[in-house]
Amino acid sequence: MAKGLRELRARIRSIKNTQQITKAMKLVSASKLRRAQERAAASRPYAEKMQEIIRSIARGAAGVRHPMLEGREIRRRGYVVITSDRGLAGGYNANLLRAFHREVAALDRDAYVVVAIGRKGRDYLVKRGFPVRDEITGLSDFPEYPDIQALAERTVRLFADGEVDALILVYNEFISPLVQRPKLVRLLPLTQEALHGSASPVGEGARPDGGRAEAPALYEFEPSPEGVLAALLPRYAEALIFNALLEAKAGEHAARMTAMGAATDAAAEMIESYTLELNRARQAAITQEIAEIVGGANALAASR
């Protein structure tokens, strides 16, 4: 019985230590989430202004054409899969990779290539033989654009050089601290729907003006609309990749905060259960000792 009591006490101490760790991780993730949301929101005006200028050129300059605005027969796709470098985030990575797997299940392995951002996704894809063309891991919790600029440029060049006929972003859309939804967005070619914000990760959420439509600004382009478009479109596509990464990071911190909160609550329930079991074991041990004492006293009395 004494051995059983020691084991229960040791188990309760171990769970309490784990609970302290998960509670601390929850608080850290909550703090990181606020900052990540602010950075994701701060990155949108840049891409939105570029989007506005590209729309203005496409709408106002007759005959302006660019390969990134023109659809073509899709023989090969490129997927940019954004996951986290670390785990302990619930189903954050698993749900995204499951959605990606469903997307490519019917495709031949030579019909697409993958650009992996994040160690969890990279390891999953490489282990299962997916055609990983490029990768980056070890990004900080608050990445800066220069951290992924080279990768973004190489990714956009895959489309520009004709190696792929469509580029698709695969990332977790941040809905709320409790909800992160896997999302697949066509990055290139830029369709009219994408340029109007309905198919890109830029411009989501409430408008600061309450939803009032504004008159489009008038621009003069030097040296020419074609030259401006050729310079802006690759940068715009790269900005969309970075914006999706920032939103995915916010979702990662939210998922980890939720997972660590659930783990802390589960630890509290386990501690309560084991404490109840410990108290019952102690009562049983005390009852047994009293019974032994009474039995010994009765034996002594009978021997007299």
The predicted pLDDT at position 58 comes to: 67
Query: How many other C-beta atoms can be found within 10 angstroms of the C-beta atom of residue 256?
Result: 24
Structure tokens, 193: 């729907």
Q: Torsion over CA of 288, 294, 298 and 304, rounded to 10 degrees? A: 120
State which residues of the chain have pLDDT below 70: 1-3, 58-64, 191-219, 221, 304
Q: What is 28-202+219-257's CATH number, 3.40.1380.10, 3.40.640.10, 2.60.120.260, 3.40.50.2000?
A: 3.40.1380.10
- Is this model's pTM higher than 0.85 or not? no
Handedness of CA 262, 266, 267, 269 (dihedral sign): positive
The DSSP call for residue 189 is: S
Beta strands in 126-282 (DSSP E): 132-136, 166-176, 179-188
Please measure the distance between the N-terminal and C-terminal CA atoms of the chain and give it in whole angstroms.
Answer: 33
Structure tokens, 123: 């390891």
Q: How far, in Å, CA of 59 to CA of 52, rounded? A: 10
- Quick one: which of 93, 69, 42 has its CA closest to 243? 42
The predicted pLDDT at position 247 comes to: 92
Q: CA 101 → CA 107, 167, 246, distances in Å?
A: 10, 16, 23
Structure tokens, 48: 């939105």
Q: What is the CA radius of gyration of the chain?
A: 29
Structure tokens, 59: 């709408």
Query: Which own/partner pairs from 262-267 qualify as long-range (CB within 8 Å, at least 24 positions apart)?
Result: 262/90, 263/18, 263/22, 264/19, 264/22, 264/23, 264/26, 267/15, 267/16, 267/18, 267/19, 267/22
List CB contacts of 149: < 8 A, sequence separation 6 or more.
Answer: 238
Q: Note the pLDDT tens digit of each residue in 204-257.
A: 443 434 444 455 556 676 777 777 777 888 888 898 999 999 999 999 999 999
Asked if 219 and 53 touch (Cβ cutoff 8 Å), the reply is yes
The predicted pLDDT at position 154 comes to: 94
Structure tokens, 97: 């990779």
3-class secondary-structure state, position 33 = helix
Structure tokens, 1: 């019985």
Handedness of CA 90, 92, 96, 99 (dihedral sign): positive
Query: How many other C-beta atoms can be found within 10 angstroms of the C-beta atom of residue 126?
Result: 14
The predicted pLDDT at position 59 comes to: 66
Structure tokens, 80: 């940019």
Q: How far, in Å, CA of 266 to CA of 19, rounded? A: 9
Q: How far, in Å, CA of 93 to CA of 113, rounded? A: 19
H or E segment to which residue 185 belongs: strand 179-188
The predicted pLDDT at position 56 comes to: 75
Q: How far, in Å, CA of 101 to CA of 112, rounded? A: 12
Q: Note the pLDDT tens digit of each residue in 263-274.
A: 999 999 999 999
